Structure 1
Amino acid sequence: MLHPQVRAVAKAGGVPPPLTVETLPAARAGFVATTLAEAGPGTPLAAVSYASAGGVPIRLYLPASDSPLPVTVYLHGGGWAMGDLDTHDPLCRYLAALSGAAVVAVDYRLAPEHPFPAAIDDVDTAVTWLRRVGSEIGLDVSRMAIAGDSAGAHLATVAARRARDRGQPFAAQVLVCPITDHTAELSDVDSPGLLPQGLEFCWDAYAPEGVDRDQPDLAPSTADLVGLPPTLVITAEHDILRASGEAYAQALAEAGVPAVAVCYQGMIHGFFRRLARFDAARQAVAQVAANLRAELS
């Protein structure tokens, strides 16, 4: 059953139009415009700043500390086609405050203007830059995790595999309501969250016709998962991606990766950033923060 807070938001918001090339600009603008109402004003931190990470815009969130901070690279959701540093600003602030780690939000390029592999290449560029100069800005890059929600979680797990293959593995990864393979079976749920049509649009935008969607950079479960970092997967009961996220956590466990999957009852896709709407969002961020604090200690 949907949580009462979810039911209330769905009743007040109505049914959004289908996601198409024509409606995408309005959907992007709405995603940004509703951030304050959805996520709140954000938690004060010791410092928040911008930088160019090898040409990729990032926002750096620093909690107070007298010693070099561990790092969490955060990749926002939005189906590879929406979202930016502002839509996830309150979330990143709260995560930094609770985890005690610096959070680096990456403003990767969006589809369909910049299809695969633009987004994941931007993530790699930003991570490489962080490892090179992080110590100069007060970061302990030997303790680095990667996290993301939805499409950002997809990018996170691909980035984690690439980092492992370079011999510079992350210490942990956190995947919230992750998109996984394009062939993954969708959970049969009646939800005001992500709909199959919207997910299909996002796949077509990011990996359009002619792109092999079965390659590991697009279908992460087809890759060798051995040696990936300890993983926390968070799913939502009423999310069409719930079963595929849980299946990916199981695949990680089968490969010997310490992996835990936690389902938030009554919640929908995208609940994680909606700190001002759903009590479960704050609890989920607190869980992620505790996980990161333990893995990066």
Structure 2
Amino acid sequence: MTIHPQVAAALAARPRPAPETVDADPLAALAAGRAAMLAAVPAECGPPTPVASVSEVDADGVPCRLYVPAPGVPVLVYAHGGGWAMGNVDIVDAFCRRVADRSGCAVLSVDYRLAPEHPYPAPVDDVETALNWLRREGLGLDVGRVAIGGDSAGGHLATVVARRQRDAGRPLAHQVLIYPVIDPTMSSDSYRDLGGAGLDRATMARFWNLFVPDPADRLAPDVAPLAAPLAGMPPTLLITAEYDVLRDEGERYGVELLAAGVPVVTVRYQGVNHGFVRKLALFDAAAVAADQIAAALRAALV
């Protein structure tokens, strides 16, 4: 399929540093990338959907934003993307609002610590801390019905925490993985065949180096989700993008979950690139994907 014209508009909405700039001063380039990502939010994500209650909360030291469409509803715990090193709850605010509104579920968006200042396992621990806090505090919500989700690096954090919860005897009801990072070896065909539409192999390699600096640590199940047994993982909605270097590893994860007996729906959105789902102002497919996610949560939890 031909790449969608909206991809070009999306790439133009946020400047990215030239490779030579990144190589010359990686930390300065990261700071610039962080600032550019936040500055582009209005153009990329559009106006917010009204939700009955939106509040900033402290989840045992982890800042989060809580969206509650009504009292007593189930909850999605959500981790944003950004290579474990960029982004915050603002970049997924419009997405979380739409999902809360359309699903009837509350959304707890986790503002986890970022690498390289806080490398592995800090981001994983923060998401799990927020989840455990939610289950303990209740907050007037139905914390017996909790899902977890995330996009890109956030998808990685979500499924690692889902596996940890399974192993601790506290399984989650559902997981939503949006073009998740799965394979630290970056060995899938899509890394070779794609990469001209935003995210590329060099950028992912830098993110991995920031998140888990020691390659030996990347063999652990908390870093490489396919290193752990997958039976008993939550039923899963897994979304990928056709023009995304992470496409194949995400779809492979869906296949492996299915082989382990986990109910999985895997959907590849054609013509679009990495990051499209939160960019509601730029991609027609973003609203479709957000509403598909909301419908899946409503079916699983409500």
Check whether TM > 0.5: yes
Of the three residues 192, 217, 221, the one matched with 1:216 is: 221
1:46 counterpart = 2:18: no
Calculate the TM-score normalised by the size of structure 1. Answer: 0.95
Q: CA deviation at 1:5?
A: 1.2
Show CA shifts across 1:185-235 (max 9, x none).
240125322111110000000000265101100000110100000011100
Distance 1:127 1:153 in 2: 15
Aligned to 2:106: 102
The structure whose residues are more often helix, as a share, is 2
**Alignment partner for residue 236 of structure 1, among 224, 237, 241?**
241
User: What is the CA–CA distance in structure 2 between the aligned matches of 1:249 and 1:16, rounded to whole Å?
Assistant: 33
TM-fit CA distance, 1:162: 0.4
Q: Secondary structure at the match of 1:145?
A: strand
Partner of 2:94: 90
Stretch of structure 1 that moved more, 183-192 or 37-46:
183-192
Percent of pairs with identical residues: 55
| Kept in 1: contact 2:77–2:107 (CA 8 A) | yes
Paired residue secondary structure (2:95): helix
Q: Secondary structure at the match of 1:86?
A: helix
Q: What letter matches 2:10 in structure 1? A: V
The change in CA–CA distance for 1:41 and 1:170 in structure 2 (over 3 A counts) is: same
Equivalent residue of 2:74, what SS? strand
Q: Secondary structure at the match of 1:139?
A: coil
Q: Which runs of 5+ in 1 are unaligned?
A: none
Spell out the pairing of 1:239-250 with structure 2 (5 A cutoff).
Answer: 239-250=244-255
Equivalent pair of 1:191/1:268 in contact (CA under 8 Å): no
1:21 is paired with a residue whose SS is helix
Match of 1:114 in 2: 118
The answer for the alignment partner of 1:205 in structure 2 is 210
**Distance in 1 between the 2:121 and 2:73 partners?**
30
Q: Where in structure 1 do 4 or more consecutive aligned residues deviate above 6 Å?
A: none
Aligned residues: 293
Q: Partner letter of residue 268 of structure 1?
A: N
**Any conservation in 1 of the 2:49–2:101 contact (CA below 8 Å)?**
yes
Which residue identity is paired with 2:270? Q
TM-score by length of 2: 0.94
Change (3 A) 1:70 1:254: same
Amino acid at match of 2:42: L
Q: Find the counterpart in structure 1 of residue 27 from structure 2.
A: 21
Contact 1:71 1:143 in 2 (8 A): yes
Rounded Cα–Cα distance in structure 2 between residues aligned with 1:166 and 1:233: 23
Cα-to-partner distance string for 1:147-194 (whole Å, 9 max, x where unaligned): 000000000000000011111111000100110021142401253221
Q: Which runs of 5+ in 2 are unaligned?
A: none
Determine if the alignment matches structure 1 residue 173 to structure 2 residue 175.
yes
Q: CA deviation at 1:11?
A: 5.6
Deviates more, 1:286-295 or 1:191-200: 191-200
Q: CA deviation at 1:38?
A: 0.2
Provide the secondary structure at the position in 2 that maps to 1:23: helix
Partners of 1:210 and 1:281 lie apart in 2 by 34
Contact 1:61-1:96 within 8 A present in 2 as well: yes
Relative to structure 1, the CA distance from residue 32 to residue 12 in structure 2 (aligned partners, 3 Å threshold; closer, same or farther) is closer
Deviation at 1:12, TM superposition (A): 6.6
Q: Residues 185 and 243 of structure 1 are in contact (CA less than 8 Å); yes or no, is this contact kept in structure 2?
A: no
| Structure-to-structure mapping, 1:279-294, within 5 angstroms | 279-294=284-299
Which amino acid in 2 is paired with 1:37?
Answer: A
Pair 1:268 & 2:270 matched? no
- 1:30 corresponding residue in structure 2: 36
1:160 is matched with 162
Report the equivalent of 1:77: 81
Could you tell me how far apart the structure 2 residues matched to 1:8 and 1:126 are?
35
